[in-house]
């Protein structure tokens, strides 16, 4: 009986410890995009929050970057991926902040020459995965942030787009 109680207590404590360590229950570590991008192995499998700039386009996908940093993080919304297994119960939080981010992301340039917004800045929380952990991501060498939450997103206007204002009415030539 004593062995049964000890075995049962060990199992309960192991399950409780694992439940606290899974990405959906852990408290995120606040780090920079450069920290994660330059040392992805150090953060692999950990829940982190980075403050960065988000951009996307139809050709290259979506990524997070920061000023004065050559590293980028590939942006993937969490969707209960089956591999690696620690992402199987991890989903993006679809709250008001996420819906605001989605609306703002639709206003980004996406490679178009005449547009108003280059990027949006936000706090991104997610699990860091490396380039070879998931089969269909194996073609790149970037660290990937499987995003579980987004907060405080703000659009940034394109400062380089100095195109002249279009006239409000088309002039009619005189004959």
Domains of the chain in sequence order? 28-157 (2.40.50)
CA distance 130 to 159: 34
CA distance 114 to 101: 21
pTM of the model as a whole: 0.72
According to DSSP H, which parts of the chain are helical? Answer: 2-21, 33-38, 40-43, 96-105
User: Given this model, what pLDDT does residue 100 score?
Assistant: 93
Q: What backbone torsions phi and psi does residue 113 show, to the nearest 5 degrees?
A: -70, -35
pLDDT tens-digit map of 69-102: 888 898 888 887 777 777 788 888 999 999 999 9
């Amino acid at each position: 009986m004593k062995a049964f109680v000890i075995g049962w207590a060990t199992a309960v404590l192991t399950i409780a410890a694992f439940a606290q360590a899974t990405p959906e229950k852990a408290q995120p570590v606040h780090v920079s995009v450069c920290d994660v991008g330059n040392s992805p192995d150090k953060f692999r499998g950990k829940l982190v929050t980075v403050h960065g700039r988000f951009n996307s386009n139809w050709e290259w996908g979506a990524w997070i970057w920061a000023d004065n940093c050559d590293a980028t993080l590939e942006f993937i919304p969490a969707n209960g991926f089956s591999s690696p297994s620690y992402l199987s119960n991890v989903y993006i939080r679809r709250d008001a902040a996420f819906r605001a981010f989605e609306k703002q992301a639709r206003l980004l340039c996406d490679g178009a020459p005449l547009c108003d917004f280059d990027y949006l800045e936000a706090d991104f929380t997610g699990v860091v995965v490396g380039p070879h952990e998931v089969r269909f991501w194996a073609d790149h060498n970037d660290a990937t942030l499987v995003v579980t939450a987004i907060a405080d997103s703000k659009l940034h206007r394109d400062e380089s787009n100095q195109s002249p204002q279009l006239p409000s009415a088309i002039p009619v030539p005189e004959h």
